[in-house]
Amino acid sequence: MKVSQIAGFLGSGKTSALMKIASRLVEQGNRIAIIVNDVGEISIDSRFVEANGLEAKEISGGCICCQIAGSFAETLAKLHDSFNPNIVIVEPSGVAIPWGLKRAAEYSEVKADMIVEHAPVITLVDASRIDMLLKAVRRLVETQIREADVCFVNKVDVATPQGIATTEEFIRSINERAEIAHMSTTTGEGIDLACEVIVNRISPRYDDSMEEERLRSQYGKKGGN
Ligand SMILES: Nc1nc2c(ncn2[C@@H]2O[C@H](COP(=O)(O)OP(=O)(O)O)[C@@H](O)[C@H]2O)c(=O)[nH]1
Ligand SMILES: [Mg+2]
């Protein structure tokens, strides 16, 4: 079962993107479930879920990448045993850390007879309010970008050219290897690419050596003791 996460700060456009991506993937013949970590955010419209033949779960009560990783793993295992989707798209809370979510997803392997495969980590960055993000929540946004495989400069339909350029430069300054692309759920730009990335590519599993590498690049020292 493949797990795809769409990271990004609150308001970056995760729910809007997830709905477009999910319905496109269903059209392409995939069996899709969605999990939304509802931490005071707008939830998915149940009519949308029904109309698209999706299975949807909401998990609340804390962040699924840390505080309630266990219930997230449990939900994945149950989805596997009941609906059996080939892809689960997860909208973590706006403060989730992508690697924490990978680790939590892998916990589900002890709860059901399955192997978890990760789709590339997609991070959305809202180019229409990049100045505010850099002022108010810079470190969090940096972490979400650092751990991304593909970064979408989002809301390009309303962002200024300056906002788009600043966002691209910021992403590149933090993550040299991530693919950078534009997205707008209003015009549909970037949705096909996101679907292609989710279906055809994979991202490494969480493990201790990667954690160590992450600590080293983030804090300039070895993980562990
Ligand atoms: N102009 C524009 N607005 C968007 C786009 N994507 C999302 N929004 C709006 O941004 C707000 C936050 O979007 P939402 O998907 O709820 O973000 P989330 O908090 O990350 O899930 C909503 O008012 C959306 O309508 C976009 O591509 N262009
Ligand atoms: Mg949302």
180 secondary structure, DSSP code: E
33 alpha carbon to ligand 1 midpoint, in Å? Answer: 21
Place of tokens 């795809």: 4
Place of tokens 């788009």: 164
217 secondary structure, DSSP code: H
Ligand 1 touching residue 184 (CB < 6 A): yes
DSSP-assigned states of every residue in 40-97: SSPPPPHHHHHHTT-EEEEE-SS-TTTTTHHHHHHHHHHHHHHT--SEEEEE--TT--
Look at ligand 1, atom 13, and give the residue with the nearest C-alpha: 13
pTM of the model: 0.92
Q: What is the pLDDT of residues 18-51, one digit of tens each?
A: 999 999 999 999 999 999 997 665 677 888 898 8
From the list 139, 146, 105, 111, the residue with the least C-alpha distance to 3 is 105
194 secondary structure, DSSP code: H
Identify the bridge partners of residue 180 per DSSP, sorted by sequence position.
151
10 alpha carbon to ligand 1 midpoint, in Å? Answer: 9
Identify the bridge partners of residue 37 per DSSP, sorted by sequence position.
59
8 alpha carbon to ligand 2 midpoint, in Å? Answer: 9
Q: What is the pLDDT of residues 184-205, one digit of tens each?
A: 999 999 999 999 999 999 999 9
The domain locations on the chain are 2-205
Evaluate if residue 223 carries a pLDDT over 60: no
149 alpha carbon to ligand 2 midpoint, in Å? Answer: 20
Contact 106, 208 (CB under 8 A): no
Q: Rounded to a whole number, what is the largest CA-CA distance in the chain?
A: 51
Give CA separation, 65 vs 27, 98, 166, in Å.
30, 8, 29
Rounded to an integer, the average pLDDT of 53-70 is: 91
Look at ligand 1, atom 28, and give the residue with the nearest C-alpha: 155
Ligand 1 touching residue 95 (CB < 6 A): no
Q: How far apart are CA 101 and CA 144, in angstroms?
A: 11
Ligand 1 touching residue 12 (CB < 6 A): yes
Q: How far apart are CA 173 and CA 2, in angstroms?
A: 30
Specify the 3-state DSSP secondary structure of 128.
helix
Ligand 1 touching residue 163 (CB < 6 A): no
Ligand 1 touching residue 186 (CB < 6 A): yes
Class of domain 2-205: alpha beta
215 alpha carbon to ligand 1 midpoint, in Å? Answer: 32
Evaluate if residue 222 carries a pLDDT over 60: no
